[in-house]
């Protein structure tokens, strides 16, 4: 990843004023005018006033296409943040769909966007907003969601991202009643997310993502996975340090055990969380599920003993796959998950090793041919309306409309009731900034995720 520096003040304190922006936006720079510089750290700016911060960012931010929006423009873009545009919500606030084009900014590509609005009464605040601008404004990669712009006007803090058509992995894996994710789609998602983390870890100044979980992995129309939500991301250790010591924040069920007990954070903490998500993909079970029997509530504790024994592996594999997965691939993925979940961080693989281990799984062809399935045309289902890419290549090399697997529909309907019954209510805390923050101080104050 190269870091580029804007040659003029693209970001200035005047960005707070809606009407004074046009000329600045017109002054966007061509790539020729961008020079390489060191990436701005969150710590470089987090103690400064907002004016200084934006001026610092203006001198360091690479995203020459990062746009500054006025609040009223984002109102227009999202039809006044209407319910019909609502996409989702985390601890930061609600996210709405919108549409931008060059009527808003010269040269702005016509495209759908997602606008995240800081909930002024919520648990997160300026620090999380800033983390997203600082990290996603500078880090560009196919497996990180693209930040298109932001708004910082009076108390308003908003973020504008590329729109990810298939939403988050948590919904797709656990709440999607219209069909289950096929094996190869799961492997593809794991590879994409692993590449995103690997990129962060291999930066000249490594970044620890700290909140790797299914609901922060967004899916494009072709199931390319991209990491979103950099609210908890933090610069990794530098200058020979082995770890960063922080308040323990993250999500129950995903955070690495040594981080929870010591507050010592390393890139290996992200590797542990990756192992949890890989396990979720294999088993179709949530990392924490209070609706299950006590023994099965914590996914890692329950599933880990089965991962290295190939004879027992099918006991934990997702039943909804109905056996249609590569046995060889499942074994390799399970062994990898086991390694990522090692208690000793040093025994965990690096994310680039994870990528190298997972990639060949896409080419294994020992996937059993499934029974004939009738594809039911969708009437008004959201997925049915999306022109692009409703079809994914299924594991048997056929095309299956994900929204219409008749065979699977019944079982998903049955699950629907159960899931609502056991939805875990979020606990809010004014001292913790994230939807996901779980420990206020070491060893105390356990917070549940949304």
Cβ distance to ligand ADP smaller for residue 192 or 349? 192
Does 164 contact ligand ADP by CB under 6 A? yes
| Catalytic annotation, residues | 211
DSSP-assigned letter for residue 50: H
Among 92, 104, 150, 199, binds ligand ADP (CB under 6 A): 92
Strand partners, 288: 298
Among 229, 258, 270, 395, binds Mg ion (CB under 5 A): 229
Closest distance of CB 239 from ligand ADP, Å: 30
Site for ligand ADP in 22-81 (CB under 6 A): none
Per the CB < 8 A criterion, the answer to whether 437 and 250 are in contact is yes
Number of residues that bind ligand ADP (CB under 6 A): 24
**CA 346/CA 275 separation, integer angstroms:** 14
Using the rule CB under 6 A, give the single segment among 56-64, 100-108, 228-236, 332-340 that binds ligand ADP: 228-236
Does 163 contact ligand ADP by CB under 6 A? yes
Using the rule CB under 6 A, give the single segment among 9-17, 163-171, 377-385, 395-403 that binds ligand ADP: 163-171
Among 11, 129, 150, 161, binds ligand ADP (CB under 6 A): 161
Per the CB < 8 A criterion, the answer to whether 117 and 81 are in contact is yes
Token pair in block for residue 344 = 């000793």
Binding letters toward ligand ADP, positions 169-208, x by CB under 6 A: ----------------------------------------
Does 168 contact ligand ADP by CB under 6 A? yes
Closest distance of CB 90 from Mg ion, Å: 3
382 belongs to an annotated ligand binding site: no
**CA 450/CA 430 separation, integer angstroms:** 15
Burial 139-156 (b: 16+ CB within 10 A, else e): bbbebbbbbbbbbbbeee
Closest distance of CB 353 from ligand ADP, Å: 27
Does 90 contact Mg ion by CB under 5 A? yes
Give the start-end residues of each E strand in 266-331. none
Cβ distance to ligand ADP smaller for residue 158 or 336? 158
Does 149 contact Mg ion by CB under 5 A? no
Binding letters toward ligand ADP, positions 132-151, x by CB under 6 A: -------------x------
Nearest to 435 by CA among 156, 174, 119: 119
Assign 168 to helix, strand or coil: strand
Closest distance of CB 420 from ligand ADP, Å: 18
**Pure H helices in 93-182:** 126-138, 169-170
**What angle is formed at CA 110 by the lines to CA 105 and CA 116, rounded to 5 degrees?**
75
Closest distance of CB 169 from Mg ion, Å: 11
Does 90 contact ligand ADP by CB under 6 A? yes
Closest distance of CB 118 from ligand ADP, Å: 9
Burial 266-291 (b: 16+ CB within 10 A, else e): bbbbbbbbbbbbbbbbbbbbbbbbee
Per the CB < 8 A criterion, the answer to whether 276 and 299 are in contact is yes
Assign 207 to helix, strand or coil: strand
Element (H, E) at 275: helix 267-283
Does 218 contact ligand ADP by CB under 6 A? yes
Strand partners, 152: 157
Does 88 contact ligand ADP by CB under 6 A? yes
Per the CB < 8 A criterion, the answer to whether 196 and 216 are in contact is no
Assign 15 to helix, strand or coil: helix
Using the rule CB under 6 A, give the single segment among 40-48, 68-76, 164-172, 346-354 that binds ligand ADP: 164-172
Instruction: Identify the residue whose tokens are 């590797």.
Output: 271
Closest distance of CB 343 from ligand ADP, Å: 28
> Binding site for ATP: which residues?
116
Q: Which residues bind ligand ADP (CB under 6 A)?
A: 87-93, 95, 114, 116, 145, 161-164, 167-168, 215-216, 218, 228-229, 231, 435
Q: Which residues bind Mg ion (CB under 5 A)?
A: 90, 216, 229
> Binding site: which residues?
116
């Amino acid at each position: 990843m190269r870091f580029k520096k804007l040659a003029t003040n693209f970001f200035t304190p005047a960005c707070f004023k809606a009407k004074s922006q046009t000329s600045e936006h017109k002054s966007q720079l061509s790539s020729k005018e961008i020079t390489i510089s060191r990436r701005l750290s969150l710590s470089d700016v987090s103690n400064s006033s907002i004016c200084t911060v934006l001026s610092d960012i203006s001198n360091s931010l690479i995203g020459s296409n990062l746009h500054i929006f006025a609040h009223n423009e984002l109102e227009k873009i999202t039809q006044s943040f209407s319910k019909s545009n609502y996409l989702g919500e985390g601890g930061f606030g609600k996210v709405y769909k919108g549409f931008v084009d060059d009527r808003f900014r010269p040269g702005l590509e016509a495209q759908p966007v997602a606008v995240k609005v800081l909930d002024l009464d919520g648990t997160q605040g300026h620090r999380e907003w800033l983390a997203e601008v600082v990290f996603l404004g500078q880090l560009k990669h196919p497996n990180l969601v693209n930040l298109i712009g932001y708004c910082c006007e009076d108390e308003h803090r908003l973020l504008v991202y590329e729109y990810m058509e298939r939403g988050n992995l948590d919904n797709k894996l656990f709440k999607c009643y219209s069909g289950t994710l096929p094996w190869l789609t799961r492997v593809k998602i794991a590879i994409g997310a692993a590449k995103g983390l690997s990129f962060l870890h291999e930066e000249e100044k490594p970044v620890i993502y700290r909140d790797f979980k299914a609901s922060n992995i967004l899916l494009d129309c072709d199931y390319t996975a991209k990491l979103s939500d950099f609210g908890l991301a933090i610069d990794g250790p530098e200058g020979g340090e082995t770890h960063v010591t922080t308040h323990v924040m993250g999500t129950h069920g995903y955070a690495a055990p040594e981080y929870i007990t010591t507050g010592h954070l390393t890139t290996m903490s992200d590797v542990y969380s990756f192992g949890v998500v890989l396990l979720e993909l294999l088993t179709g079970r949530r990392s924490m599920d209070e609706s299950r029997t006590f023994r099965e509530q914590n996914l890692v504790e329950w599933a880990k003993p089965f991962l290295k024994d190939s004879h027992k592996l099918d006991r934990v594999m997702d039943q909804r796959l109905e056996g249609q997965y590569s046995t060889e691939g499942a074994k390799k993925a399970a062994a990898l998950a086991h390694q990522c979940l090692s208690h000793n961080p040093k025994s965990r693989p690096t994310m680039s090793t994870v990528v190298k281990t997972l990639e060949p799984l896409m080419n294994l062809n020992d996937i059993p041919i499934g029974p004939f399935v009738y594809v039911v045309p969708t009437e008004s289902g959201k997925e049915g309306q999306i022109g692009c890419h409703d079809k994914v290549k299924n594991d048997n090399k056929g095309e299956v409309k994900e929204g219409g697997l008749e065979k699977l529909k019944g079982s998903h309907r049955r699950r629907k009731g159960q899931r609502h019954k056991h939805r875990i209510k979020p606990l809010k805390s004014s001292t913790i900034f994230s939807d996901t923050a779980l420990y206020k101080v070491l060893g105390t104050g356990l917070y549940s995720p949304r």
